[in-house]
């Protein structure tokens, strides 16, 4: 995949995660609330797999076993994350 293709894929993925986070993500009755910050994910054992610059922010991809999240990282105290699988 070319760099432009990868960048486009990441942009679409980040947009979907942002939309899911804003809409509320999981709406099932027994669905657990997803961690909302990178701090929460790190505390649960997630590892940072990659980080991509996006303007003045970064999109950080985190994974633990078969579960993955994308986080919009603005600053150490300003992050929001959403499940991508």
Confirm if 71 and 80 have CB atoms less than 8 A apart. Answer: yes
The torsion angle over the Cα atoms of residues 37, 58, 82 and 68, rounded to 10 degrees, is -100
Is the pLDDT assigned to residue 44 strictly greater than 50?
yes
Pairing, β 47-54 against β 78-83? unpaired
Is the pLDDT assigned to residue 2 strictly greater than 70?
no
Is the pLDDT assigned to residue 31 strictly greater than 60?
no
Average confidence (pLDDT) over 13-29: 46
| Predicted TM-score (pTM) of this structure | 0.59
Q: Which residues pair with 70 in a beta bridge?
A: 61, 82
d(CA 26, CA 50): 24
**pLDDT number for residue 23:** 42
d(CA 61, CA 68): 7
């Amino acid at each position: 995949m070319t760099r432009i293709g990868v960048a486009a894929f990441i942009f679409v993925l980040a947009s979907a995660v942002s939309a899911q986070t804003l809409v509320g993500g999981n709406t099932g009755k027994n669905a657990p609330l997803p961690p909302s910050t990178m701090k929460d994910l790190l505390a649960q054992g997630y590892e940072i797999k990659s980080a991509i610059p996006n303007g003045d922010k970064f999109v950080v991809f985190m994974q633990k076993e078969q579960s993955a999240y994308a986080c919009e990282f603005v600053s150490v105290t300003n992050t929001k994350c959403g499940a991508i699988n």
